[in-house]
Amino acid sequence: MTESDADSAINVPEIPVEIVTDEEMGLIEAALTAGRSSLSSSTIPAISSAAAASSSSFSPLLHRNARSIGSIARLSKRRLSDYTDTSPIRDIEDSGVLRSTQKKIGVRESLLHRFRRKKGLSVTDITGTEWCEKQMEFLLLFGKPEITKAMKAGIVRHAKLEEEVVKKVKVRVGTLEDVLALKFINFIVGVNQLLFEGLTRELPLIGFVEGVWMVGVIDEIRMPETEANRNPILVETKTRSQARSPAEPQQRNGRLQLMCYKCLWDSLAANSFPSRQFYDFFALNPHYILSEEIRENTANSGFPAKTLDDLLRYFSNMCCMLPPADDQLLLRYEYQEDHSLLGEDQFMYDSDWAKRQIRCCLEFWLGERGANYTPVEERWKCRYCKFSSVCPANTNTDCTSS
C-alpha cells in the first residue's frame, strides 16, 4: 500500500456489506479485443468505444437482479457500463500501457509506446501475444481481423450470460475521467453483487501488475458455497464451434487468461493500487467534477461521489474488503450450437509460471526483442491466421497440424 493509497483510505464512509453463501466462451484470444470493441451498448459491461467527433457520449447503467437491502440494494441492481463513443476518448479496456521506464530500440518506439500509450495493457493483449507474437505484431501494424461467425457466436453467448444478471441503462459521458469513473463504478457494483448474491459477471478490473497498468473483464466470479472458504472463484467460459475439447495450446492460453485475472484481482485485494501513479500515467485530474448523471447515479447507489478522487476513495475502500481469489481456477467449454457443456478444466494457479509468461510478453511489447514465431509444433495455428501468406515463418515451411 503506497502512501497515497493510505491517504485515500482515511475517512472514507464504509459501504455496508453482507456476505451470503449462494452460489456461475470461447473467442480466439488473439481476436477477442476486436470482438469486444465491436459490441453494441447492450453487450458487455466494460467500456467500449469507437472514436468519433463530438464532445459527449452515452453509456449504459446496468440493473442487476439483486435483493433490496437499503442503499446497497440500489447499488447491486445497477452498473454503469459501455457506451457508444462520440468523443475523442479511446477505448481503454482492450489496450495496453508502458512501464514507468519505457525502453526503445534505437530511435524506434516500442509497440507499447506506439500503440498502447496512456491506455492500459489488456489481458487479451497478453494472451494474444502468448498465442503468437508475430500475429500480434501484424495485428498492431496492419489492423484487426474481421469478426468471424464463431466470434459473433461467442459474443452473443457472452451477452446472454450477462443479461441473466445485468440490465443496461445509458449514461452520458464526455471525458476520460468519466470513462474511468464508469469502470470503478462497475467494479463497486459488481463486487457488491458478488458479496450479496454469490455471483457476478463481466467484472471490469484495472490494476498495476508486473510494472504495467493492466485492464481486463472477468467473465464470472462465484463465491464458494461452503463457509470454510471465502475466496472468490474466477471462471472463464469459452464457446467452441466444434463439439470437442480444445487443443493443449488453446487450453494453455485460456489458463493464462484466468491467471492474469487472478493477478489483477489479488493486486487489488492487497490494496496495492497506486493512485498517484494512476493519475499521472493516464494524465487525469483527480479533482475533475464527474458528469451530472454519474454523480446522480452514485448518490442513488449509496456512495455519492462528486469528483474522480471521491470515487477512487470508495474503490480503494472496497478493495480493502476483498479476499484474494481462490487458487483453483475454472475454464468452461460450451458448444456454440446448443450451449451444451463440453467440459470443465479446473486447475491451480501457478504464480511463477504466470509471471514468467507475462514478463516474456512484456519483452516483446517493450521492444526488448523482436517478435518470436509460433513454435514449429504449433504451426497449425497458421491455418487460422489471415497473415499466414505474408508471414516469414511460412516462406519455406508449410503449416501442418500438430
Burial of 346 (0-12, 13-18, 19+ CB in 10 A): exposed
Q: Cell numbers of 158, please?
A: 457472452
pLDDT at 393 over 90: no
Q: Can you name the residues that pair with 167 across neighbouring β-strands? A: 63
Mean pLDDT of the region 202-216: 95
- Lowest model confidence (mean pLDDT) among 6-20, 268-282, 284-298, 368-382: 6-20
Mean pLDDT of the region 108-114: 86
Task: State the angle between helix axes of 176-197 and 292-300 in degrees (0 to 180), rounded to the nearest 10.
Answer: 20
Q: Cell numbers of 145, please?
A: 481481423
Amino acid 153: pLDDT: 66
Determine the Cα–Cα distance for residues 15 and 225; give it in Å rounded to an integer: 23
Q: What confidence category does residue 171 fall into, taking pLDDT thresholds of 50, 70 and 90?
A: confident
CB atoms within 10 A of CB 135: 26
The alpha carbon of residue 389 and the mean position of all alpha carbons in its chain are separated, in whole angstroms, by 31
Mean pLDDT of the region 329-347: 95
Mean pLDDT of the region 46-75: 37
Comparison of pLDDT for 4 and 155, the residue scoring more: 155
Comparison of pLDDT for 156 and 66, the residue scoring more: 156
